[in-house]
Chains A and B, each alone.
Chain A
């Protein structure tokens, strides 16, 4: 970039669209790598999936192929003081995934094996051993998969920590500014038009990290990738005396249960609500609320003393093969995507760092996440 361009306030080395954990981490490491970076979000930062998720740092629910990344992401969270600038309160705990029926036990053993092969230190233990590890669980279980590497993070502390780190690294944060079009600029790079500014923000390159909203934006660059939007339900209780100390799940992956330091218990697992990502607004499906809470109470019987404090829904994105999109979108290496990462909060810091490394000229192995694997772009150049 010419020095003249460099000094113009609305011209950047990289413009990142979407300020969740993926975009924000990429921004942070690019800025630390010397780039001039703008991070744009249509609302305040960290308010979509990255602000409302369950904060589980588990290997029991992660897609098997992503286990190495999840392990690295988990380590980064536990070490946040050293790279993010403050300790956000991640806690290492054991994790147990349980089976209560014969079919579930079979599923449990099979899934444990696959995850072991991918490097997760998971072993199947007897009901007695499971109750010893976690006295809070229902002793009616048939078997449990135990993993020493589990834990959780109080999600609410993350956004503020990133905001401070990003500002310190010199990232320009542009909030409450939906990106409306992205067009290739004459002379290279892209013009990113945001609703709040008369002039577009110019980036020598762009990174798309808009989570559940990626489908439309990828379409602007000629990619037609159907992205499914999951509407995940979470339920939190009022604070309770200690009823559990580990992260609990069940064999089919549809429960995540933990008690935070303040005593509240968070019940999740991917039970669905209703909603529409374009119109906004989500709605709890009463049967799913009841089912999710019943499952939790069955697994930890002492939850019958709890009061349900709040229920909310958040949007998560999934590609047709449920694997992430991370990498370059153009042969010119000037447009990138990072998103659709299963259990993406756990691995988010690591994935973002990998993409930053790639953009800064490194060569991390992102081949499994190649965004061009579904289709080649309909048109060679980006279109608005």
Chain B
């Protein structure tokens, strides 16, 4: 074994995967820096409740799990940087940060990307009307802020978050008007059968479903919100059946929460230039990783949902295994020790992997929706680009996502395509018969989110500006 290399490791993301990994890495003796944009660790599932919350849903295993993780992290020597975001990185993995102290840089280090998932959103006519939120956004509002998106809510989209959010609305005393699911009913039965492998999830799912059934909430499968209209008291939502578009149901509600499953957050990994692939089951791009989170770059690892959506239990196991793999790669532990340390988590992982993968098609059940977008529907909210504009650019010869972006500005705005990329790709592949790989994905550009200009400039005098030599006359 070569002599151990204890140079620093930086973990981006303090959710379950990142925090678990950071703690384990510091136990191996690495100097570890953990960066997270939240004011505390916990990520999406274990997010700490807001101190300003009106009320919180009754304490549950998620909050106590989060508290335990935060305590462990606080007791560890991990250098934590909260309220800090990575806005750029160099080819050598220098990280550009912005935090409470302004702009800062971290010198190159081994980086563990654990920045989790982004919700997939698919547009419909009128979706930019106020009081329409994402499922994940609604969930944060309720679980951490104790606030309902509305007293009456239509919950729509696909994947398990549908039922979780519906359940949260009931917990806070709201009314779920309808649940609109793009998935097949039979897909859920198939998942139910698999859940015997994951008893914790099974118990929870059964509890949710019984409660929703008891409340008499209509559930539409193979359906989606096709239009929203603002009224004096809230929204009128049209629900269309995917296999019988002529069959429509109209619901009045104060708010709608809508989301089509999760996808890995890839701005950082794409900028770092590691290999990615399209996962057809999940319908998303993910970095190519081995079971321990190794990528095509030796100084970059990806763990948790950022490596492919598998959920909370898998995220913890992946975080742990990645930390041990880094220890092995750096010569801190032997291959044998790695095997021993990871035997139990790897076994658990194999069992959970099957269940988690079963979730992917459920989350991706809306994949055909962008094909039928009405011309008038806004696809890119930041730049207000409509489906018709995209279709005419495609007709003029824009056959990949970046040419489409260049010609229409779709995806050029502040959100950098997080909201519109999936629908733009869906539209493109349907229109010219491309595969998702051929359609590609928007080139990631820095800064990853808007930065205050004064944070870039700082205080300065004119004479501080290093003016280059004059341009040729």
Contacts and interface: CB of A to CB of B under 8 A. Distances in A.
A47 B403 contact: yes
Interface stretch (B39-47, B249-257, B312-320, B442-450): B442-450
Interface in B388-405: 393, 396-400, 402-403
A164 B397 CA distance: 8
B447 A311 contact: yes
Most buried by B among A111, A298, A305: A298
B456 A293 contact: yes
The number of chain B residues touching the other chain, given as a range, is: 35 or more
A345 B416 CA distance: 26
Contacts of B91: 281, 283
A303 interface: yes
A51 B396 contact: no
Interface in A101-122: 101, 107, 111, 114
Interface in A42-58: 44-47, 51
Interface in A335-350: 342
Interface stretch (A24-32, A155-163, A211-219): A155-163
A12 interface: no
Interface in B243-298: 273
Most buried by B among A140, A164, A290, A322: A290
A254 interface: yes
Interface in B430-450: 445-447, 450
Contact of B453 (A164, A284, A306, A322): A306
A159 B447 CA distance: 25
Most buried by A among B399, B403, B458, B469: B403
Contacts of A284: 88, 446
A167 interface: yes
A290 B414 contact: no
A307 B456 CA distance: 10
B446 A311 contact: yes
B457 interface: yes
Interface in A29-73: 44-47, 51, 61, 63-64
Contacts of B469: 252
Interface in A237-292: 237-238, 251-254, 270-272, 281, 283-284, 286-287, 289-291
A51 B443 CA distance: 14
Contact of A46 (B96, B406, B412, B471): B406
A332 interface: no
Nearest to A304: B454
B407 interface: yes
A160 B393 contact: yes
A238 B450 contact: yes
B398 A44 contact: yes
B173 to A, nearest CB: 38
Contacts of B454: 297, 304
Interface string A135-158: 000001000000000000000110
A272 B466 CA distance: 12
A307 B465 contact: no
B100 interface: no
B206 interface: no
B406 A173 contact: no
A81 interface: no
B414 A238 contact: yes
B278 to A, nearest CB: 18
A100 interface: yes
A179 interface: no
B271 to A, nearest CB: 10
Nearest to B461: A298
B51 interface: no
A307 B450 contact: yes
B447 A310 contact: yes
A156 B406 contact: yes
A128 interface: no
Contact of A294 (B273, B409, B446, B464): B464
A366 interface: no
A297 B473 contact: no
A309 interface: yes
B468 interface: yes
A91 interface: no
Contacts of A295: 465, 467
B246 to A, nearest CB: 35
Given A238-B414, A283-B91, A156 B409 contact: yes
B450 A308 contact: yes
A100 B467 CA distance: 12
B226 to A, nearest CB: 29
Contact of A167 (B397, B447, B464): B397
A369 interface: no
Nearest to B471: A253
A220 interface: no
B262 to A, nearest CB: 25
B456 A272 contact: no
A100 B452 CA distance: 25
Interface string B82-99: 000000101100001000
A270 B466 contact: no
B105 interface: yes
A310 B398 contact: no
B472 A63 contact: yes
B470 A307 contact: no
Given A44-B398, A159-B407, A253-B470, A291 B465 contact: yes
B451 interface: yes
A157 B413 CA distance: 16
B462 interface: yes
Contacts of A237: 453
Interface in A214-237: 237
Contacts of B412: 156, 310
Nearest to A65: B473
Contacts of A293: 453, 456-457
B287 to A, nearest CB: 18
A127 to B, nearest CB: 15
Contact of A290 (B402, B413, B457): B457
B460 interface: yes
Contacts of A238: 414, 450
11 contacts: A44-B399, A61-B471, A64-B473, A111-B473, A156-B406, A164-B396, A283-B91, A293-B457, A298-B462, A298-B465, A306-B453
Given A47-B402, A297-B457, 7 more contacts: A114-B473, A140-B462, A157-B407, A163-B397, A238-B450, A294-B457, A311-B446
9 closest Cβ pairs, A-B complex? A253-B471, A252-B470, A307-B450, A160-B407, A306-B453, A44-B403, A322-B472, A163-B396, A308-B451
